[in-house]
Structure 1
């Protein structure tokens, strides 16, 4: 595991380096007294873990975290600070842990163990997404091909329309798609002759790309329709749905599998391409992601992993800020912690967002639950 340290106080950097060296499970690849230098490091060389101070001049740790996640969405961030006032904000930004100065060695060892476990889970997800180099089509966030012999080189689509045609055929998987449907969907603005020419050119480019991928997949044409062929691959969506469609989580093994599936959800379905024909399925998958996340958080609460549940729900509400169901789940967790102030802040932030963005108020079920929880603490 590679780690970088960012703290404007040199004595704090030295203490953290000593703790890491004594523990022996991480390699320190950079130490910085300014957040911008840490960001420069992450631009040039990725690190698995960032130990980050919050109170710093120029750019504080919470601002730095947002930039770090943009550079490396899988970076694990641990805040190290003399103040405990930022805990909720830290977990909202996806921090894996929160250490108070001076750092207690035993507490630090637990944090490293948690990081070790988290990184092992991420590696397991990657292996499950493409075990033993198994070819995979990744559709969450951005379309990409992995695992085939050709992915060691540079696989680049010749045109955006060739890429969209491939995505459209994968979207329908083994089903045949009528030629007329493809023409109307991908080239509605062109005359029939020009659209057919574009289709034939794009089919040629997709077949060439699949040949370079080297897994035996192809494009079949018959009965005036096209179909993507190839049994030797899986998509991340397939893997996600297999685990996310399970019911109530009652064991740690079920939770582990679900957590791995949720980590496959790197972003919404074909999010960066914004194909209009993918919007309905994108919304469907997002709904399944939300429900699966709520199941995972419910298990975490029952297993005593309350802070993990809270962190998951805070991140989920950032994705769906107007979901009353997510808001209610978050209120339940705050109430379970006996934290009346955080419960109040959570509800009021949600209500304020509804008023400012939608001109509405929380529903009766949400307001009644809020009043009940506030009275019960």
Structure 2
């Protein structure tokens, strides 16, 4: 995937290049200190897929640039990178992929890159037959780590937060009629019935207006005092993850690339920071599915001696939930498999500390026994190696 950088600070070019170098799928094709040069480059290079754009620049600012690029019908997607948090809401009125606040962390950048790559990979994985027609009308819905709806016409610009929430609710129940009384209770709870009914009417109207520019107004159907969402040719990231993650029980060498691509689809919890209360059950279900998938494939990767891939997945899962003993066990086994006694000690002692600090408890006897046995195994292997060399 080819990307460009647009920032009047050349130091940011160096920083972003260094961070993006860690993604083998990404190539920085150009860096520009003004939007005019960037626009000229884009007009001559249609293969650029992503642009990281600063908002505050001399002359034309980043948001004006993004709006201009959007009007040209260019296929390039925009990620804003700026120090100004206050621009976030206004920025999302444009069809941007993400909004990064400086200083950008590697982890946060990884989420953005993975989300873009996952959508790109998902489109390429469509069946070859009639693929041109399907892709031309494809609705891309991102729900993991973020929430956005887009197709070739652009990204949905939500008129209100409640219109986005109503779409999210209907999305998880798409094809089913959801009674008004249920929507009022789940989305507008706490209001008087009269006010909630009026607010729901307004929100339905706003939702349809939000969807109209990308041709989805009629996807919100009124049915018997309720509403339903009907979508065709929709690619939804959490469904894609569910389908792909169920394909592997055991991983072989030839599966590794596909497995890692599948893991990248899960770029964060359902609906990201919005964390709708009514979606808690589904959020937890998908998070558990992701954790189970990573543990399962990591064990398989360890069995085929692919410790590099296993380590990357397990460290990511451990960062999400450092109290998960199953993950700690696998990391300890991985360190032992590599003969790294120091890393094994650090992993175990860090876990003991966090258990004591957060929960006031000690590790299980099973984990203590595992630790002791792994230490003994490492020592025995080193002694055996030393004996053979003599």
Q: Aligned to 2:159, what secondary structure does the other structure show?
A: coil
Q: How far apart are residue 171 of structure 1 and its match?
A: 1.5
Do the aligned residues in 1 keep the contact of 2:251 with 2:301 (CA within 8 Å)?
no
Query: Equivalent residue for 1:33?
Result: none
Query: Equivalent residue for 1:67?
Result: 105
Q: Does 1:149 align with 2:153?
A: yes
Do the aligned residues in 2 keep the contact of 1:42 with 1:71 (CA within 8 Å)?
no
Q: Aligned to 1:189, what secondary structure does the other structure show?
A: coil
Q: Does 1:132 align with 2:135?
A: yes
Query: Equivalent residue for 2:36?
Result: none
Q: Aligned to 2:322, what secondary structure does the other structure show?
A: coil
Tell me: CA distance 1:221–1:235, structure 2 relative to 1, closer, same or farther (3 Å).
same
Do the aligned residues in 2 keep the contact of 1:149 with 1:215 (CA within 8 Å)?
no
Do the aligned residues in 2 keep the contact of 1:174 with 1:229 (CA within 8 Å)?
yes
Do the aligned residues in 1 keep the contact of 2:184 with 2:196 (CA within 8 Å)?
yes
Greater mean deviation of Cα atoms: 210-219 or 198-207: 210-219
Deviations along 1:75-117, one digit per CA (max 9) or x if unpaired, are 69xxxxxxxxxxxxxxxxxxxxxxxxxxxxxxxxxxxxxxxxx
- Output aligned runs, 1:347-366, within 5 Å: 347-366=348-367
Do the aligned residues in 2 keep the contact of 1:317 with 1:323 (CA within 8 Å)?
yes
Query: Equivalent residue for 1:175?
Result: 176
Q: Which runs of 5+ in 1 are unaligned?
A: 5-12, 31-40, 47-63, 77-118
Q: Aligned to 1:73, what secondary structure does the other structure show?
A: helix
- Output aligned runs, 1:92-131, within 5 Å: 123-125=120-122, 127-128=124-125
Q: How far apart are residue 217 of structure 1 and its match?
A: 5.3
Deviations along 1:135-154, one digit per CA (max 9) or x if unpaired, are 12111111101224243xxx
Q: Aligned to 2:272, what secondary structure does the other structure show?
A: coil
Do the aligned residues in 1 keep the contact of 2:144 with 2:272 (CA within 8 Å)?
yes
Q: Does 1:213 align with 2:214?
A: yes
Q: How far apart are residue 305 of structure 1 and its match?
A: 2.2
Q: Which runs of 5+ in 2 are unaligned?
A: 6-13, 32-50, 56-76, 78-101, 379-390
Greater mean deviation of Cα atoms: 181-190 or 245-254: 245-254
Do the aligned residues in 2 keep the contact of 1:215 with 1:232 (CA within 8 Å)?
no
Do the aligned residues in 2 keep the contact of 1:259 with 1:296 (CA within 8 Å)?
no
Do the aligned residues in 2 keep the contact of 1:178 with 1:225 (CA within 8 Å)?
yes
Query: Equivalent residue for 1:256?
Result: 257
Count residues in correspondence: 291
Query: Equivalent residue for 2:277?
Result: 276
Do the aligned residues in 1 keep the contact of 2:251 with 2:297 (CA within 8 Å)?
no
Q: Aligned to 1:174, what secondary structure does the other structure show?
A: coil
Q: Aligned to 1:226, what secondary structure does the other structure show?
A: strand
Q: Aligned to 2:273, what secondary structure does the other structure show?
A: coil
Q: Does 1:317 align with 2:321?
A: no
Tell me: CA distance 1:349–1:122, structure 2 relative to 1, closer, same or farther (3 Å).
farther
Quote the Cα distance in structure 2 between the aligned partners of 1:27 and 1:175.
Answer: 44
Q: How far apart are residue 220 of structure 1 and its match?
A: 1.5
Query: Equivalent residue for 2:193?
Result: 192
Quote the Cα distance in structure 1 between the aligned partners of 2:142 and 2:29.
Answer: 32
Greater mean deviation of Cα atoms: 185-194 or 121-130: 121-130
Q: How far apart are residue 362 of structure 1 and its match?
A: 1.6
Quote the Cα distance in structure 1 between the aligned partners of 2:217 and 2:248.
Answer: 36
Quote the Cα distance in structure 2 between the aligned partners of 1:346 and 1:227.
Answer: 49
Query: Equivalent residue for 1:266?
Result: 267
Do the aligned residues in 2 keep the contact of 1:177 with 1:227 (CA within 8 Å)?
yes
Q: CA RMSD in A?
A: 3.5
Do the aligned residues in 2 keep the contact of 1:216 with 1:230 (CA within 8 Å)?
no
Query: Equivalent residue for 1:202?
Result: 203
Quote the Cα distance in structure 2 between the aligned partners of 1:220 and 1:202.
Answer: 14
Query: Equivalent residue for 2:226?
Result: 225
Quote the Cα distance in structure 2 between the aligned partners of 1:120 and 1:160.
Answer: 27
Quote the Cα distance in structure 1 between the aligned partners of 2:28 and 2:152.
Answer: 32
Quote the Cα distance in structure 2 between the aligned partners of 1:65 and 1:330.
Answer: 30
TM value normalised by structure 2: 0.66
Q: How far apart are residue 175 of structure 1 and its match?
A: 2.0
